[in-house]
Amino acid sequence: MKLALIGYGKMGHELEAIAKERNHEVVLIIDQDNLADLTAEKLSSVDVALEFTSPKSAFQNVLICIEAGKPIVSGSTGWGERFHEAAELCKRRGGALFYSSNYSIGVNIFFKVNQLLASLMGKTQGYSVAVEEVHHTQKLDAPSGTAITLAELMAKELPGMKGWVLAPEKLDNKISITARREGSVPGTHSVTYSSDVDEITFTHAAKSRKGFALGAVLAAEFLKDRKGVFGMNDLLKL
């Protein structure tokens, strides 16, 4: 495939390396110094675009690709409140959009197992629940999209819970998420159920960005020649 990379920071470089390992060609790179090159004309030779930028620019980047008729894989987080707008435009234009808050295969299995655990814990009493995420200091959004996805999946299974709240704020009907920014941590997420007599903690810790990049390139391979809006459950058949 011929790929475009929108965003060329550490993740963009990792995507480029994985793409080349899988015999794909990167034909367009968009970064801070050439934002004006993200046009339908420049995208004309591209099969799929991969977009990993910032909460402020992600929505507009996705719209440009959809309007140019190019499939796009987006991994930017912090713009979830506008995702439905992008999805609706994609459907109207007959385009292709793949979005996930986290492209790690391990994390997406982690999502499913946590959803099952929450369904079991929802049938018990006496446990409080909390989520903690730790990321590198350059991560702009907090809490992480992955932590939000975790909390939203769990809230559906836990009676009385309605979404999440960012610590230190606490509400009885919302799952508390603690967000920490430390060093160069790629991403660690923990879910803890605590009672007077015991504690259950379930953790996923990324060792590098490579797992995220591999998942995103696999998503691009999946998206080529498809139409519609997709996520990791579609790719992994979960």
**Enzyme catalytic residues:** 135, 139
Query: Which residue stretches of 68-184 are H helix?
Result: 83-93, 105-121, 145-155
- Run of H or E residues at 40: helix 40-43
The pairing of strands 128-135 and 188-194 is antiparallel
- Looking at residue 156, the DSSP 8-state letter turns out to be T
Size of the chain, expressed as the number of residues it contains: 238
